[in-house]
Structure 1
Amino acid sequence: MRSIGEMARDSGLGVSALRFYDRAGVLVPAWVDPVSGYRWYDPGQLEEARVLARLRRAGMPLADIRLVLAGWSSTDTELVRGLLQAHLRRLELGLSDARSEFSTLRALLEHRENPMTAIRTATVQLSVPAPELAAALDAVRFAAGSDPELPMLAGVLFDIEGEGLNLVATDRYRMAVARAATTGYDGPRVQAVVPLPLADAMRALLQGEEPVRLAVDGDRVSLESGDRQTVGQCLDHDFPDYRRLVQLPAGRRALVDVAAFREALETGPVRARQLREQDGERWDVSVLRMADDGTVTVCEDGDDDRDNIGVNREFLLDALAAGDRDELILDLGAPTAPLAIRRPEEEPAFSILMPIRLED
């Protein structure tokens, strides 16, 4: 007999997924301990579990999966082939419809006014306190993207408006925003996406306490500190409108001791999730729960409370480090809502992490 943990490891289905498929009557364990409730599987069920995992990755509805597995365990291969072919036709039709919709969307985008065109031709010179700019870069750098398919995210957005400079980075799964005060510029809003190598070179200049000089001239951006300077070209891509993305619904807030919470994350249980099947990337997921008294705990494996929130553990640890405080505020909403990490003093620096679906 195989334990549920062994079955999860060898089949590619998570423990919570196996429990779900048991409750749904799709893959029922051969024996359940009447005292502990622990599930045990017959060795012959491993093949069915692997078939189930592949069908779910292919997006087959649960009702059809039941029929496939029923036919798989018998000699009714004609039924199985028919179900597979029918699902493939649905996928092909869906892809055709999606291509048509995306073609329409591209045409609409071509006719929209591009607000970044004027921004790229603007000329700006301003002064920024070196410690503030350094802290802002440190707060957002971890969230920058590296996907070659999304080059606009492989940089830090410098968003200059009024007497403030907002720095923003995102890789779609997380976003970080920080702010630094500026002087010497009171013109219209200007944005520049600074590529990561240039942003890192800027950070290396920010060692002193004196203000530094930031300049944007068309697609050229430079930073001067004393007699040292770093300069380069902005990314020729539009950055997402982050102001729409940070308008989160009110959630439950908890003040956490960063050192203790970090230790709980690093030593606590995780759930491996296959999030990018095309390149085999796996992320360790920490499952969080907020008690009525505001305490946030890392849940044990098997805790399937519907209010639990799954989050990429590595991303959360990065966000805690970037928060640069002994205490931080976790803002938890619904299991499908982003998790926000804020500083207690309500500074305009915070991170957002997208939640991870716990049920397959």
Structure 2
Amino acid sequence: MRSIGEMGRASGLGVSALRFYDRTGVLVPARVDPVSGYRWYSPAQLQEARLLARLRRAGMSLADIRLVLAGWSNADKDLVSELLQAHLRRLERELSDARTEFSALRELLTHRENALASTRTTTLRLTVPAPELAGALDAVRFAVSADPELPMLGGVLFDVEGEVLRVVATDRYRMAVAHVGAGGSGGSAAQAIVPAPLADAMRALLSGEEPVRLAVDGDRVTLETADGQASGLRLDHDFPDHRRLVRLPAGRRALVDAAVLRDAVESGPVRATEVRDPDGASCDLSVLKVTEDGAVAVCADGDDDPDQVAVNRAFLLEALAAGGREELILEFGVPTAPIAIRRPDDEGTFSLLMPVRLEP
């Protein structure tokens, strides 16, 4: 017999998912301890659990999964085959429909004027305080994407608007924004995506206290300091409109001691999930909530508070470290909205973490 934790690790289903499938009657444990309530699964159920995990990843509905598992347990090969073929045909129809919609979308994009096209030939020279630019890069670097399928997210956006330089990074699951005062733009606006290696080279030069010079000249971005120069081509892509992505519903705010919360996350309860991270590996979750006294707590397994929010634990720890302050503000909206991590003295520099569903 396997415990629910052992079953989760062996099957690829998270503990929360196994509890959900128990409650819905899809995969009921072979035995439940009447005293402790612990769930135990028989060896034969491991194959069913692995099959269930694959069917869910293939997008099959729970109603059809029930029938597949029933046919599987009765060795009804014809029933299982018919259900799988019907689901495959449904997926193929949906893919065909999606291709049609994407073709129409490409036509719209082709004929739509690109508001950023003119920035490809922009020449702009700024003066930026070195410590502020260093702090801005430190605050956002952790959120740069490493997904080769999304090259437009593989760098740091330098977004100049008037006397403000905003530095932005996102990998879809999190986003970080920082801002720096900039002089010399003359009120101009420009954007450039600085590749991650070039951004790192720029950061390595920002060790002094003197202002540095940042230039955008067509497709080239250059940083000049007293210690040297870092220059290279910007990414030839358009970055998502980060201003639209930060429009969050009003929520509860909690002031936290960053070190204390990091310790609580590192040592506190962790939940596994069948949701996959960008690298294809399962991720651990930390589940947070605001208590009645205004503190942020890491929820124990089994806490059913409807306002709790689950986030990728590693992403949360990186965002707390990148916050760069002893105290930070955590802002919670509805459980399906991102968590915002802000600086009390500089709310223009912040991180957003996308929530993760606890149940399928």
Q: Tell me the CA shift for residue 227 of structure 1.
A: 6.1
- SS of the aligned residue for 1:99 comes to helix
Aligned partners of 2:139 and 2:176 also within 8 Å: yes
| Residue in structure 2 matched with residue 152 of structure 1 by the alignment | 152
Return the offset for 1:165: 0.6
C-alpha distance in structure 2 between counterparts of 1:271 and 1:111, whole Å: 47
Residue 283 of structure 1 corresponds to: 283
Q: Which residue of 1 aligns with 2:119?
A: 119
2: CA distance, partners of 1:317 / 1:277: 15
- AA aligned to 2:32 is V
**Partner residue in 2 for 1:8:** 8
What CA distance in whole angstroms lies between the structure 1 residues aligned with 2:152 and 2:313? 25
Conserved? CA contact 1:16–1:304, under 8 Å: no
Percent identity over paired residues: 71
Letter in 2 for 1:2: R
How far apart, CA to CA, are the structure 2 residues paired with 1:174 and 1:278? Answer: 12
Distance 2:75 2:142 in 1: 54
Distance 1:338 1:282 in 2: 20
| 1:85-133 deviation line (CA, Å, top 9, x unaligned) | 1111111111111111111111111111112211111111121111111
Code of the residue aligned with 1:232 in structure 2: it is G
Partner amino acid, structure 2, of 1:185: S
Who is 1:63 aligned against?
63
1:274–1:16 distance in 2 versus 1, CA, 3 Å: closer
Map 1:1-360; keep pairs closer than 5 Å.
1-226=1-226, 228-276=228-276, 280-360=280-360
1:344 maps to amino acid: P
Structure 2: state its 5+ residue gaps. none
**TM-score computed with the length of structure 1 as normaliser:** 0.96
Q: Counterpart of 1:334 in 2: which secondary structure?
A: coil
For residues 313 and 279 of structure 1, do their structure 2 counterparts lie closer, same or farther at Cα, with a shift above 3 Å needed? closer
Letter of the structure 2 residue corresponding to residue 19 of structure 1? R
What is the one-letter code of the residue matched to 1:87? H
Separation in 1, partners of 2:38, 2:93: 42
- SS of the residue corresponding to residue 47 of structure 2 reads helix
* Greater Cα offset, 293-302 or 346-355: 293-302
When residues 4 and 227 of structure 1 are mapped into structure 2, their CA distance, relative to the original with a 3 A threshold, is closer
Structure 1 position 315, deviation (Å)? 0.9
Equivalent position SS for 2:348? coil
CA shift, 1:40, in A, is 1.9
Q: Which amino acid aligns with 1:241?
A: D
* C-alpha displacement of 1:254: 1.0
The alpha carbon displacement at 1:42 in A equals 2.5
**1:142-201 C-alpha deviation (Å, 9 max, x unpaired):** 111111111111111111111111111111111110011111222331111111111111
* Aligned partners of 2:128 and 2:211 also within 8 Å: yes
SS at 1:348 equivalent: strand
Structure 1 portions without partners, runs of 5+: none
Of stretches 41-50 and 111-120 in structure 1, the one that deviates more from structure 2 is 41-50
SS in 2 for 1:347: strand
Letter in structure 1 aligned against 2:107: A
CA contact (8 A) 1:134 1:206 kept: yes
**Relative to structure 2, which stretch is displaced further, 52-61 or 302-311?**
302-311
Deviations 1:233-280 (A, max 9, x none): 111111110000011111111111111111111112222334448964
With the length of structure 2 as denominator, give the TM-score of the two structures.
0.96
Separation in structure 2 between the aligned mates of residue 319 and residue 146 of structure 1, nearest angstrom = 17
Question: How far, CA to CA, are the matches of 2:203 and 2:93 in structure 1?
Answer: 50
Amino acid at match of 1:214: L
Give 1:358 deviation, angstroms: 0.9
Q: Which range is displaced more, 165-174 or 274-283?
A: 274-283
- Name the aligned partner's letter for residue 166 of structure 2: N
- In 1: Cα distance, 2:119 partner to 2:277 partner: 38
Post-superposition offset of 1:354: 0.8
Number of matched pairs:
360
Conserved 8 A contact 2:287-2:309 = yes
Change (3 A) 1:280 1:205: closer
Equivalent AA in structure 2 for residue 300 of structure 1: A
